[in-house]
């Protein structure tokens, strides 16, 4: 008989996470002369972003393994969407949650985390997300809390390989993906999706979208551009060129990313700046691959967490 390790069943009362269905995958074409892009509407997840997937996956796994129990604590460093997703998942599972974030993040994010019962600790703006990561490690050790460590935890990419990727394969015409396009924050999305499509036999090419401004340092310390939050350079331990054969990096000006996001909003997609970045890069990828290519990208989060930012209050607007 194969020995079984102890496994704690997930909490059930009032918990809706297990009942969540797939988010839609829809064809989007902003320009009548341009290509059609298959876009996964991740802003329809419960907390409003694709980070719900990794939050749920990592916390549920830790719970089953006995690393979390009722009343336990989760500590994570994140400038936004992952902290919001973890706050919601923790509320559903009866856990305490502390987000460590750099000063300067939007008030909408802080208010949302606190509304779910989470705590927010801010580190100096100049220390950026690296400083938040260091402080989160300190708190996790001091409090014996569970630390998801999204920038290095392979379960981040695994959530997209076994969950998001399989949804897309069941939704895209013919079950065939020729390209996956995504910005890189933790790297989990593009790595996990590429693995899912490649393992399914798709002739998939990975494209990474990089927002660039040439303006030097910015509010999140490691971002390519301060105008597209969450897309950062040099932090991920999951994103490695060697794991993404044929990788193509596409530079997209932050102005194009912002304008594209606004155009998507005017079409009725309530998205943030990273969706504009992803879509603009996906259009370029489709042009390179030709009209028969099925190009997939994600709309990662909702516009409500950007109400106080340039996205919805453009500079010089009346």
The pairing of strands 179-183 and 119-123 is unpaired
Quick check: is 51 catalytic? yes
Strand, helix or coil for residue 259: helix
Which residue of the set 47, 49, 51, 83 is catalytic? Answer: 51
Q: How far is CA 42 from CA 7, 15, 147, 270, in A?
A: 30, 20, 24, 11
3-state secondary structure of 25: strand
DSSP conformational letter for 146: B
The H or E element containing residue 32 is: none
From residue 159, alpha-carbon distances to 145, 165, 177, 256, 310 in Å are 22, 9, 19, 30, 32
Q: Which of 49, 81, 274, 275 is catalytic?
A: 274
Does the annotation mark 96 as catalytic?
no
Q: Which residues 6+ apart lie within 8 Å of 130 measured at CB? A: 221, 222, 235
Active site residues: 51, 274
């Amino acid at each position: 008989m194969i020995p079984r390790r102890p496994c704690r069943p997930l909490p059930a009362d009032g918990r809706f996470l297990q009942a969540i269905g797939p988010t839609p995958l829809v064809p989007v074409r902003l320009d009548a002369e341009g290509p059609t892009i298959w876009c996964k509407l991740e802003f329809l997840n419960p907390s409003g972003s694709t980070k719900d997937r990794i939050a749920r996956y990592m916390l549920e796994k830790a719970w089953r393994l006995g690393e979390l129990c009722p009343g336990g604590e989760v500590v994570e460093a994140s400038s936004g969407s992952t902290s919001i997703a973890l706050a919601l998942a923790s509320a559903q599972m009866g856990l305490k949650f502390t987000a460590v974030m750099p000063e300067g993040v939007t008030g909408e994010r802080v208010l949302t985390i606190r509304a779910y019962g989470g705590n927010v600790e801010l580190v100096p703006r100049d220390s950026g997300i690296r400083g938040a990561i260091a402080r989160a490690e300190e708190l996790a050790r001091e409090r014996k809390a569970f630390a998801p460590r999204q920038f290095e935890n392979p379960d981040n990419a695994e959530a997209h390989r076994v969950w998001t990727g399989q949804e897309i394969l069941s939704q895209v015409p013919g079950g065939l993906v020729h390209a996956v396009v995504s910005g890189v924050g933790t790297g989990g999305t593009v790595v996990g999706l590429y693995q899912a499509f490649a393992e399914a036999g798709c002739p998939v090419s990975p494209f990474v979208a990089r927002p660039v401004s040439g303006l030097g340092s910015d509010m999140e310390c490691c971002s390519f551009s301060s105008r597209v939050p969450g897309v950062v350079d040099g932090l991920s331990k999951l994103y490695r060129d060697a794991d993404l054969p044929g990788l193509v990096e596409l530079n997209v000006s932050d102005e194009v990313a912002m304008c594209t996001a606004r155009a998507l909003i005017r079409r009725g997609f309530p998205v943030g700046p990273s969706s504009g970045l992803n879509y603009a890069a996906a259009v370029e990828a489709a042009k390179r691959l030709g009209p028969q290519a099925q190009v997939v990208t994600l709309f990662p989060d909702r516009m409500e967490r950007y109400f106080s930012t340039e996205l919805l209050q453009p500079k010089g607007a009346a």
